[in-house]
Amino acid sequence: MVYKILRKKHLITLISGILIVMIFISKNLVDHEKLESILLICASLLGLLPIMIQAFQALKIKVVSIELLVTIAVIGALIISNFEESAIVTFLFLFGAYLEQRTLSKTHSAIKELIEMAPESAWRLTETGDYEEVDVNKVRVGDKLLVKTGNKIPVDGVVIFGEGYINEASITGESIPVHKTIGCKVYAGTIVDNGSLHIIAERVGENTTFSKIIELIEEAQDAKSHAERFIDKFAKYYTPLVLLIAFIVYLVSLNIELAITILVLGCPGALVIGIPVANVAGIGRGAKSGILFKGSDVINAFNKVDTMIFDKTGTLTIGKPQVNEIRVYDEDNIQYIKSLLVSIERTVDHPIAKTIIDYFKETNQLSVQEVNVVKGGGLKGIIDNNHIIVGNLNFLEKEGVAISDIVYKDVKELMLNGHTIVLVSVNGLCRLLIGIRDQIRPTVKNELTNLRKSGIKHFVVLSGDNQGSVNLLTKDLGITEAYGGMLPEDKVKYIDNLQKQGRKVAFVGDGVNDSPSLARANIGIALESGTDVAIETSDVVLINNDYNSLTLALKLSRRIVKTMKQNIAMALIVVTMLLVSLIFSDWMNMSIGMFVHEASILAVILNSMRLLKYKHK
């Protein structure tokens, strides 16, 4: 029975409101005092029922709640036959709770939209070679699945056949469809805009990227901040204090109406909801832009950050070496030399070989007659009756390849700029030089500028790479403080030292080796493309893997904290104003006080809702 009443609270609010409207209508039409009193008592008792139940439930766990204040105030008003005020007080209190719940449900819209995007079924390959539709929960790692145009990808996996364009906005925030072919990764919850893909499942159920995004948002919205815990404690002691003051006032003045009015005016509703509503609205806004704050404490800590430390590989850089420089020493036959190079590289499975093949993918392939892999050196073989040698400088020198002074000069220049060198020899002569280097993420430089403008004073790079490579990268980015050859424990010690100096440190990383630093920093920030361990230990996750989100996350956290302070200020001003008005004026009463209280709650809610529309300039 109790739970049925609480579930019907909104309906009770509506009925209570209708009764009050009927009372005002009857005043003008009938002016029947007895009928008015009956309707007011009905409205008061009906509205008081769910409030009284919540007050009793709180008392069972030894909490003196705001609902208890309202319950005592309404019962007191009924005792002194102040039926109009008791009815209005219960209605406004219930209506305020309705507005609060409606607002919180709106701020959860981001996660609701994500949940609705979750696929429910999948087409799985059977032993007979046909595809059958099964519940997505029955899909296992290694299953082969078919996804057609308009369907959602049911799991994280890899394309094994076919091609198509996929809308990955739910994962990356990118609205432009991404072209997928054999070997490309796909993610659950994304939609095939055009094409047909056969994929093999790698991560299913709760392990998919999509499910982890939802889980992180839920954790973030459920977590309570230091400020929220303060408000909880405040309400716990504040409510008994108001009861005590009202009781003392009654003992001194013997004015029960005044004591009851103090109970109503002392309700700190706006103060209690001001922080959680702002936090949830802010977290929801961040989720829409691919920023996951893991709890409200994170928002408060991020707001104070003055130092940002970055890992290098996979964080400031893409983490995937690419061909960056080409020097040609035989212009007349360059296309043929490229064909020889790609043909021999296709015979091995090596990261550098894949990088070269990807770069020269339009090149024709020739028939390889013979190939040998020399560990730590490179490749040598025979293609189209030509002797081909591909590898580093030492390897080519050992094989007796003629290397000119120009080649030596180019090798030295590119190595100083952090390149890995691949030389190509045809029939004993060096014909081609390729410089391979990890690329800086496209948006990093611009975002560092934005962060400086936003008040971040110190930037540091800590990397396990050699110091020369780190210096080259930081020179391009304009970062003056950078340290190479750092082990995970070295990074943690460096962070500890900064924190002892009073710095508020954010660490940005993506690898397993970054996890200790992510956990130790005041704020750990991971890219979604990072390892699972890095994501687990971080405080903020950038789902779209774009550094444009970093400044937005910082500014949004500051705006959320600012909104919380505004809400607290509004609530305290209202309570002070009401109590002062009660003492120094004769117009303040219970109904007006409750109306002002609910208006302040609405103001706090509307102020918090502005966060959902926050735009990053």
Catalytic hit among 143, 156, 297, 311: 311
CA–CA dist 275, 458 (Å, integer)? 30
Q: In terms of pLDDT, which residue wins out, 597 or 226?
A: 597
Asked whether 308 and 448 are in contact (CB, 8 A), the reply is no
Bridge-based pairing of strands 429-437 and 322-328 is antiparallel
Asked whether 368 and 381 are in contact (CB, 8 A), the reply is yes
The token duo for 600 is 């302040």
Lowest mean pLDDT among 208-222, 276-290, 497-511, 569-583: 208-222
Q: What is the DSSP string of 67-127?
A: HHHHHHHHHHHHHTT-HHHHHHHHHHHHHHHHHHHHHHHHHTHHHHHHHHHS--EEEEE-T
The type of residue at 143 is D
What pLDDT was estimated at residue 570?
A: 84
Asked whether 575 and 531 are in contact (CB, 8 A), the reply is no
For 507-563, the pLDDT digits (tens) are: 988 776 677 888 888 898 987 766 666 777 788 888 776 667 888 889 999 999 899
How much is the pTM? 0.58
The type of residue at 36 is E
What pLDDT was estimated at residue 273?
A: 64
pLDDT-derived band at 423, boundaries 50, 70, 90: very high
Mean pLDDT confidence for 140-162: 90
pLDDT-derived band at 243, boundaries 50, 70, 90: confident
**How many contiguous H segments (helices) and E segments (strands) does the chain have?**
23, 20
Within 10 angstroms of residue 372's Cβ, the number of other Cβ atoms is 11
What pLDDT was estimated at residue 424?
A: 93
With a cut of 90, say whether residue 145 has pLDDT above it.
yes
What pLDDT was estimated at residue 225?
A: 47
With a cut of 80, say whether residue 231 has pLDDT above it.
no
CA–CA dist 266, 238 (Å, integer)? 9
pLDDT-derived band at 201, boundaries 50, 70, 90: very high
Q: By C-alpha distance, which of 579, 261, 575, 83 is closest to 253?
A: 261
With a cut of 60, say whether residue 25 has pLDDT above it.
yes
Lowest mean pLDDT among 42-56, 264-278, 377-391: 264-278
Mean pLDDT confidence for 234-241: 69
Q: By C-alpha distance, which of 275, 242, 232 is closest to 58?
A: 232
The three state secondary structure string of 348-359 is CCCHHHHHHHHH
Burial of 87 (0-12, 13-18, 19+ CB in 10 A): buried
CA–CA dist 92, 346 (Å, integer)? 74
Lowest mean pLDDT among 94-98, 302-306, 406-410, 571-575: 94-98
Q: Look up tokens 């989100």; give the residue.
A: 549
With a cut of 70, say whether residue 112 has pLDDT above it.
no
Q: In terms of pLDDT, which residue wins out, 433 or 28?
A: 433
Q: What CA–CA distances, in Å, run from 239 to 60, 274, 338, 542?
A: 16, 17, 80, 41
What pLDDT was estimated at residue 176?
A: 53
Mean pLDDT confidence for 183-209: 86
What pLDDT was estimated at residue 43?
A: 83
What pLDDT was estimated at residue 433?
A: 94
What contacts 397, CB < 8 A, 6 or more positions away? 403
What contacts 358, CB < 8 A, 6 or more positions away? none
CA–CA dist 544, 289 (Å, integer)? 8
Catalytic residue check, 306 = no
The DSSP letter of residue 500 is H
Average per-residue pLDDT for the chain:
79
The DSSP letter of residue 485 is S
Domains and CATH numbers, the chain: 140-203 (2.70.150.10), 322-437 (3.40.1110.10)
With a cut of 80, say whether residue 453 has pLDDT above it.
yes
Q: What percent of the chain has pLDDT over 90?
A: 12
Mean pLDDT confidence for 82-108: 65
Report helix, strand or coil for 525.
strand
- In angstroms and rounded to an integer, the radius of gyration of the C-alpha atoms of the chain is 34
pLDDT-derived band at 117, boundaries 50, 70, 90: low
Q: What CA–CA distances, in Å, run from 247 to 89, 261, 584?
A: 20, 11, 20
Burial of 120 (0-12, 13-18, 19+ CB in 10 A): exposed
Asked whether 309 and 521 are in contact (CB, 8 A), the reply is yes
Mean pLDDT confidence for 580-599: 71
